[in-house]
Amino acid sequence: MTVEIVEINSCKRSMAVEVPPEELNQEVEKIAREYARNAKVPGFRPGKTPLSIIRQRYGSDLIKDATQKIIERCWKDTVAERNLHPLAQPNVENLDNKPGNPLKFTLAFEVLPELEVKDYKGIPVTLAPTEVTEEESSKAIDTLREQHAQFVPIDGSEACDGHYLSVAVDSQFLDGGKPLHEEDITLIVGHPQTNADFSENLRGARAGETRSFEVSYPADYHRKSFAGKKVRYTVQVKDIKEKQLPETNDDFAKDLGHENLEALKSKVRDDLVTQAKQNAEKRAREALLDSIVQRQTVDVPECMVQDELESRVQRMANSLAYQGIDINQTSIDWKKIFDEERPRAEQSVRRSLLLDAIARKEGIDVSDNEIDSGLQKLTEGTNKSAAALKAQLEKEERLQSYKQHLREDKALDFIYLNANITGG
């Protein structure tokens, strides 16, 4: 067997293999004997079928299985012997396994590119100002009021814009589709996210009242099962509530654990300043990394780009599902999204490779204690313990990926600490 590895670029490799026909025949004979032990051939007892019959009956399957065995063995042995570190399983190309000829094939695979990163210390960067305006403080207070709003039942009043309605909905497709029943739906009359026909037909309704109306959906409606169809709805209004915001006074501040309103405003302002500083540092860190990336030519492994693309699209799908949107009932062009996200995915991989190279050069690593500490922060405010999250990551084989994420963060910390920072 001859094996030749060709370097296509810094991360792509091509392994050309030629196997003598005798070796392929030996593998075919070995597999034929395995077939003979288990094959059920009419006219022969199990395990007693002559090899000549087996070869005649299963010829193409024998060659296929033998080829696969040789490819797997060649790949495993070559990786070990030549100390290769492939990022994923190879793609088999140019396969030629005609009987009587040498078996030829090419294995295309990718490795991490060898990078020599230079000039990543002393990079100039400017921190943005961290001033907080009165308007920003007021908006933060208003957000707190929204978070602590109360929803008060309105007895005997008619529903109007801004009211929260709890309803049960029966849907009947007028084209004869399957009827639907949905219980305990909350909608806001007149809100942009509420169907305009629902708002129009539920204005003036009272708790306990039932209303029926029809809605015609456009052909490009985002829920495919409703697109281009007319639906008759029967909506039972269970209750009507009005959102009431707390007044901005000392009592509100005390409910949030502060001495008075001035103390609450001071705490909000301090938090905004802290957040502004963190955001400024984050933008500065990103600018530093972008500066390094722009000065480096890096070939990115396609398998890493694909992983990053799939991760990004999965996060999009999860976000839609969290909003209650069935992605199978939408007209999302996932290929278009993949194409649009590719440049950002490539840039993300490029940044990761450079941070990894800097971490290796500076001897930056992550200890078990740092992993545990990071997991502890992730589980704060949740019902899951750090130990449980760690066990889950280990089970899903994602703990190493999390460790790599922490290592890249430490490398970026190193770059920031060694930068030439002005402003702030």
Domain containing residue 187: CATH number: 3.10.50.40
424 pLDDT band, cuts 50/70/90, is: low
Angle between helix axes 399-417 and 334-362 (nearest 10 degrees) is 60
* 383, 346: one domain: yes
How many residues are there in the chain? Answer: 424
- The long-range contacts involving 3-7, CB below 8 angstroms and separated by at least 24 positions, are 3/74, 3/78, 5/78, 5/82
* 280, 388: one domain: yes
Q: Say if 314 falls within a structural domain.
A: yes
DSSP string covering 201-223: HHTT--TT-EEEEEEEPPTT-SS
* 88, 42: one domain: yes
Q: Say if 122 falls within a structural domain.
A: no
Last residue of a domain, one of 219, 244, 269: 244
Angle between helix axes 386-395 and 399-417 (nearest 10 degrees) is 110
Model confidence at 127: pLDDT above 80: yes
Model confidence at 377: pLDDT above 80: yes
Mean pLDDT of all residues in 294-300: 90
* 165, 73: one domain: no
Work out the mean pLDDT of the chain and round it to a whole number: 91
Model confidence at 44: pLDDT above 80: no
Mean pLDDT of all residues in 92-107: 91
Cα separation values, 57 from 53, 61, 226, Å: 6, 9, 54
- What is the residue range of 216's domain? 150-244
Last residue of a domain, one of 81, 110, 139: 110
pTM given for the model: 0.72
* 102, 234: one domain: no
378 pLDDT band, cuts 50/70/90, is: very high
Q: Say if 370 falls within a structural domain.
A: yes
Cα 137 from Cα 326, distance rounded (Å): 38
Q: Say if 117 falls within a structural domain.
A: no
Evaluate whether 390 touches 370 at the Cβ level (below 8 Å).
no
Cα 74 from Cα 68, distance rounded (Å): 10
* 412, 264: one domain: yes
Model confidence at 230: pLDDT above 90: yes
Model confidence at 178: pLDDT above 70: yes
Mean pLDDT of all residues in 385-398: 93
Q: What is the pLDDT of residue 381?
A: 84
Q: Say if 156 falls within a structural domain.
A: yes
* 95, 11: one domain: yes
Q: Say if 75 falls within a structural domain.
A: yes
* 264, 180: one domain: no
* 267, 204: one domain: no
* 404, 275: one domain: yes
Model confidence at 6: pLDDT above 90: yes
Last residue of a domain, one of 110, 138, 173: 110
Evaluate whether 213 touches 222 at the Cβ level (below 8 Å).
no
Q: Say if 132 falls within a structural domain.
A: no
Question: Tokens representing 331?
Answer: 């007209």
Buried b (16+ CB within 10 A) or exposed e, 365-383: ebeeeebeebbeeebeeee
Q: Say if 136 falls within a structural domain.
A: no
pLDDT tens-digit profile of 188-205? Answer: 999 999 999 999 999 999
Please report, for the domain that includes residue 8, its CATH number: 3.30.70.1050
* 418, 295: one domain: yes
* 237, 263: one domain: no
User: How many domains are there within the chain?
Assistant: 3
